[in-house]
Amino acid sequence: MKVKTIRMAAAVLLMGLGLGPVAVADDAVEIRVAYSDLDVYSVSDATELYDRIKRAAREACGVEYYWRNRDLSQISKAKRCYKAALSKAVQDVNSDVLADIHRRKAGKDA
């Protein structure tokens, strides 16, 4: 089965007991995004995969958590983590169609 792993080494976050993301030294969150049901060279399927990767990156980086809690000191870090994770995952899939979708949407996902 084809599975994409999003891994953040820089913005080290873990979900803990409903308390939200917590920084942990020298660890990384790993979220697997399955796409064996998708053809990454089809625009509609690549768009679906892009949406799955975005959701996983937001979760792993704690974007919604920090935004909901108005933790301004962490929101900027979470956004950088999200952008880096999204870009890395798109690159790792190695699909020109997915990369094109990312280039067109990247500015809107900030």
Tokens of 94: 């190695």
Tokens of 64: 């919604």
Other Cβ atoms less than 10 A from the Cβ of 44: the count is 10
pLDDT band, very low/low/confident/very high, at 11 (cuts 50, 70, 90): very low
Owning domain of residue 11: 3-109
The answer to pTM > 0.75 is no
Question: Which contacts (CB < 8 Å, 24+ apart) does range 99-104 have?
Answer: 101/43, 101/46, 101/47, 101/50, 102/50
What is the tally of structural domains in the chain? 1
pLDDT band, very low/low/confident/very high, at 48 (cuts 50, 70, 90): very high
